[in-house]
Amino acid sequence: MAWTVEAAGQTLAAFVKSQTGAAWSVTKRQVTGGKVFVDGACITQIDHRLTTGQQVELRTNAPKPRDPTREGELVYDDTHVVVIDKPQGVNSVPYEERELGTAMDLIRGAWRRMGKDATSVPLHVVHRIDRATSGLLMFAKTKKAEVGLAAQLRAHTMERQYICVAHGVVSTRRIESHLVADRGDGIRGSTTRLEQGKRAVTHVEAREALRGATLCAVRLETGKTHQIRIHFSESGHPLVGETVYIRDYTTGMLTSARLMLHAHTLGFVHPVTGERVSLSSPLPADFTAVVDRLRL
């Protein structure tokens, strides 16, 4: 069974129930059990908000989704540094006491499955990527590594490239602004009062024209919270799948069950050995599915 969302704002569970007439308990089991797909992506959150034009499908014979605690491949792991390929929908670090299912938990889960010490090895935060963003995320396992990697971030010598899909025709450019936690309407954004904001620089390379959107490669010179999302939105090209930084965008929004932003490559000098490390993460299937749908 499949339907098209005609009005934005409904939760996924409420929408499916309205279409099937099933009891709430049945609908919740269908959603959390991995039977419901939005634009081809399996969504298990009952409170996931839908937007106009999205395709919702109920697959009663769909296989059980993967255990999220087993996701997140370790791309690099030695005595001092570990890098995980973080799935979208997973927090980098816990924001509440005893919060589970973060990237840190995925790393420790991978260590347990490999028979490694998963409890006593510390994980020091080097940088973060948004919950809605997938891709490469690095932690330091020793204090020496933490200090060395933090110095590279401050010096802007760590290479971080993202792949994204943004609304409209995006041109290759450099974006610079000063970001504040509240631009006056309750959300992060840029300010003209330079002394109040933190300098943020984003380098954008337009890669491919899509239907109503552009596939871009993005290099971070600085790494402020939501920097890419804010810079694209304020330039009139919010990311496809964006749900926060869309207030100023009045053109029709393209649909995607996920934020179209992926941390694609990561390059750094190993803080102990001095060797150059270059890592990459392939685009996830749910990301490429949206790109393929938008290709001309």
The set of catalytic residues is 130
Angle at 170 between CA 167 and CA 176, to 5 degrees: 105
Residue 109 C-beta-side C-alpha neighbours within 13 Å: 15
The span from the CA of 113 to the CA of 2, in Å, is: 38
Given a contact cutoff of 8 angstroms between Cβ atoms, the answer to whether 149 and 158 are in contact is yes
Distances (CA, A) of 180 to 18, 42, 202, 247, 291: 41, 35, 16, 17, 32
The kind and range of the H/E element at 26 are: helix 24-32
Alpha carbons 87 and 282: distance in angstroms, whole number: 12
The secondary structure of residue 260, as a DSSP letter, is: S
Render the burial of 66-85: b for 16+ CB within 10 Å, e for the rest: eeeeebbeebbbeebbbbbb
Q: Which residues contact 236 (CB under 8 A, 6 or more apart)?
A: 168, 248, 249
